[in-house]
Structure 1
Amino acid sequence: MLKLSGVIITFNEERNIEKCLQSLVDVVDEIVAVDSFSTDQTKTICQRYNVKFVEQKFLGYIEQKNFALKQATYNHVVSLDGDEALSERLQQSIIRLKTNWQYDGYYANRFNNFSGQWIKYSDWYPNKKLRVFDKTKAEWKGINPHDNVQLHNLNAKTGHLKGDILHWTYQSYAEMDKKTEYFSTIAAKAYMGKGKTAPFWKLLWNPSWAFFKAYILRLGFLDGKNGFRICYQTGKITYLKYYKLRALYRAKS
């Protein structure tokens, strides 16, 4: 029977990490957590579940997740963040893979919870993610903080699993605003490193289009007040990325 490693990166995840571990413990054959020196109870909680706990200074989201993959004993992995967990249906789907693995990687839908509400529309669902894969055939790529798993072979075959990755995002608007500032700063620096430009028209068009697509085309309005706030924040973070990128270029010149 095929063996699986559950791989997680963590930092101060005491609010969510136990749900994550409980969803993995009967599915995988080992759990690896790479932690960025948490100052809360994350490590203590992980030790209750016989986790292989590795402390590593934060390298960047992409770099940290690739480092975590290297700590896994088995090639076939289930990769989660500390604020995510497998639904019961997804747990069963993954268990079945252990005797019937057919593809290089498997997608699952991610179901996001915002301030106690499961968000069913906008860009937040189905939010398809490749999180079950053969680590010898894939790695984390993208532009920080927007990381994603990419298979090495363009002709690689993928499947889609039934069930959801449950994701607990923000518990309040204030927390969301704080993370928006944080992530937009990371993204602006990453964009600059990639040589991306920030002409003035992008400050107007890109945020407007991001909001319209999420709120109207992807039916974000059906999620009520929280749906509006999420779509507004989608536009805001887009604006801030380019605003901060322009500021970085001005400072450099």
Structure 2
Amino acid sequence: MITLIILTYNEELHLQRCLESVKNLAERIIIVDSFSTDRTFEIAQNHGVKFLQRKFINQADQLNWALENLNIDTEWILRLDADEYLTPELYKEINDRIKTIPHNVNGIVFKLRVYFMGKWIKNGGYYPMKLLRMWRNGKASIDNKMMDERMNVLSGEILEFNHDLVDENLSTLVHWTDKHNNYSTREAIVRLDAKYKFLNETEQLVHKSNKQFYLKLPLFFRALFYFCFRFFLKRGFLDGKQGLIWHFLQGFWYQFLVDAKIFQIEYLAKKENKTVKQIIEEKFNFKF
């Protein structure tokens, strides 16, 4: 009744936990891997799941390829990241309700609970983040975007389940900052595209109203504004030392880095009399 899809790259730290949390829930588990060099394949093999490898472009491209090419024939599709896992309560809720979901419901939304350095980040406006992670086969599509891709139900209703999906990355801050440095380049590109329109239409960022407001604020100031909003007005300080690190890095440092890259790209484009796309390709070694 359920096919589970997991996208992986060097996830030996998380994959075992993820697979254990869905044991006996899904009829079929498919891992689409981006040529991991650690024990990811070994762990997948030990669990008897289908394991495929494909060059990674972005999350949306990878998931779309899986949906279009893997002959999925179950009624429902569930998507998880390798560093996510189902709480026992959510496992039971899916198992108990899956056969009685009304036929007009084509999408299921879960509440995402983020842990950072062992601390549940409850404040700062961060919980609950609601994500559509389960849908009827053929009834949803993913935004083809470099960042902030989301599943969208094509027709029918959406049902919100009561219990939580957990996101708990166990990697060090070295890994976290490296990953977010890469994300920040992509984020800078899609924000620059809002101004210069150099991406293909299918890759262009679809702005939400709250992001539109944020992007109208001045560079650098908006990162500080966002951090203060989260940490003070949304009471992120209640999340303790881990919350301070999380909200500062994710809510200020990352956003400031995005703005710094935007500033540098525009500066270099003007200085060298080139387009921003040329600067991104030449100086940031980014291939479109």
Normalising by the residue count of structure 2, what TM-score does the alignment of the two structures yield? 0.79
- Following superposition, the deviation at residue 171 of structure 1 comes to 4.0
Does the 8 A contact of 1:8 with 1:68 survive in 2? no
Aligned residue runs from structure 1 range 95-174, under 5 A: 95-102=95-102, 103-141=105-143, 143-153=145-155, 156-169=156-169, 171-174=171-174
Instruction: Flag structure 1 segments of 5+ consecutive residues without an equivalent.
Output: none
- Following superposition, the deviation at residue 49 of structure 1 comes to 1.4
Moved more, 116-125 or 130-139: 116-125
- Following superposition, the deviation at residue 25 of structure 1 comes to 2.2
- Following superposition, the deviation at residue 172 of structure 1 comes to 3.7
Does the 8 A contact of 2:220 with 2:260 survive in 1? no
The residue number in structure 2 matching 1:38 is 36
1:228 and 2:230 are equivalent in the alignment = no
Aligned residue runs from structure 1 range 189-228, under 5 A: 189-195=189-195, 201-228=217-244
Going from structure 1 to structure 2, the CA distance change for 1:135 and 1:212 (only over 3 Å counts) comes to: farther
Q: Secondary structure at the match of 2:11?
A: coil
Moved more, 141-150 or 234-243: 141-150
- Following superposition, the deviation at residue 68 of structure 1 comes to 2.5
d(CA) in 1 for partners of 2:19 and 2:216? 45
Does the 8 A contact of 1:24 with 1:31 survive in 2? no
Residue-by-residue CA offset, 1:152-200 (whole Å, 9 max, x unaligned):
24xx411111221111125444333222212101212233345469999
- Following superposition, the deviation at residue 217 of structure 1 comes to 2.9
Opposite residue 163 of structure 2, the aligned amino acid is G
Going from structure 1 to structure 2, the CA distance change for 1:109 and 1:199 (only over 3 Å counts) comes to: closer
- Following superposition, the deviation at residue 225 of structure 1 comes to 1.2
Aligned length: 249
Normalising by the residue count of structure 1, what TM-score does the alignment of the two structures yield? 0.89
Does the 8 A contact of 1:4 with 1:75 survive in 2? yes
1:68 and 2:84 are equivalent in the alignment = no
The residue number in structure 1 matching 2:209 is none
Instruction: Flag structure 2 segments of 5+ consecutive residues without an equivalent.
Output: 198-213, 275-288
d(CA) in 1 for partners of 2:98 and 2:217? 50
Does the 8 A contact of 2:108 with 2:160 survive in 1? yes
Opposite residue 48 of structure 2, the aligned amino acid is N
Opposite residue 157 of structure 1, the aligned amino acid is E
Moved more, 8-17 or 46-55: 46-55
- Following superposition, the deviation at residue 248 of structure 1 comes to 2.7
Aligned residue runs from structure 1 range 9-20, under 5 A: 9-20=7-18
- Following superposition, the deviation at residue 231 of structure 1 comes to 1.4
Task: Name segments (4+ residues, structure 1) moved above 4 Å.
Answer: 193-201
The alignment-based identity, stated in percent, is 26
Q: Secondary structure at the match of 1:59?
A: coil
Q: Secondary structure at the match of 1:144?
A: coil
- Following superposition, the deviation at residue 9 of structure 1 comes to 0.3
d(CA) in 1 for partners of 2:145 and 2:255? 14
Larger Rg: 2
Does the 8 A contact of 1:34 with 1:55 survive in 2? yes
